[in-house]
Amino acid sequence: MGDYLRLLTVNDRDVPLAMLQRAVPYGAVWSVEHPGMLGNYLAIGPEPNEQHNVWATVERNPLAPNTLAAEEVAEFIDSLDFGGPPSAVRWLSDYLETIRAIYAIRIYPEAILSHPDAFDAVYAVRSALHDAVGGIGQWDGHGFTNESDRLVWCDPRMDLTGKTRAAILDESTGDWIPFELDLDDQEELSAFLRGEIPKSQRTGPSHRTS
């Protein structure tokens, strides 16, 4: 997994810091002064205000003309044709045009690896943000997830490994068809990129859900 996890949301409400702090009983979340930066900047670590052992930082970047968030969204849209499935390319192209804010969580791998609860704490904050504002995920080196946090798009040039919760969009109904995708199985990955449910995961019409 890359160094950034992003949550791209159509909801531009502020999320109370206390809500995120309550989500991490085995760590701390605190506000960091960042002069000249638009939006909010938080840190996640083992102790409040411990600047030398931060596990991750969270930037909230509202989308407006000529902002970092606007540049990132434009880059994401340009990158879609390098991956698939085709239905996800079309869906993401439309969805990304409606984004109002990006929460960018930067992971510090060395600090994370030295503490057994660190990634759980970071993911708890990410989950709390998702619960509060919804949205889709963009994971460096992995791809895009839908609003149910299932992988819906990836670039075959990425170094993808392991099994993951995935989904393919049925454009005739607007429903997502969920399944488990084995990223180490080239045949399954190729089928996914073409917009097909892998043969091992086909269970009939009742398999359709969000």
DSSP readout, 98-123? T--EEEEEEE-HHHHHT-TTHHHHHH
Q: Domain for residue 196, yes or no?
A: no
How far apart are alpha carbons 150 and 181 in whole angstroms?
10
Distances (CA, A) of 61 to 2, 13, 51: 19, 12, 22
Given a contact cutoff of 8 angstroms between Cβ atoms, the answer to whether 179 and 198 are in contact is yes
Residues near 195 by beta carbon (within 8 Å), at least 6 away in sequence: 84, 85, 86, 87, 88, 168
Distances (CA, A) of 186 to 62, 159, 190: 38, 12, 6
Q: Domain for residue 169, yes or no?
A: no
Q: Domain for residue 166, yes or no?
A: no
Q: Domain for residue 200, yes or no?
A: no
Q: Range of 81's domain?
A: 4-155
Q: Which pLDDT tens digit goes with each residue over 95-129?
A: 999 999 999 999 999 888 888 889 999 999 999 99
Q: Domain for residue 193, yes or no?
A: no
Q: Domain for residue 85, yes or no?
A: yes
- The type of residue at 6 is R
Confidence of residue 206 (pLDDT cuts 50, 70, 90): very low
pLDDT above 60 (res 205): no
Specify the number of domains making up the chain. 1
Confidence of residue 209 (pLDDT cuts 50, 70, 90): very low
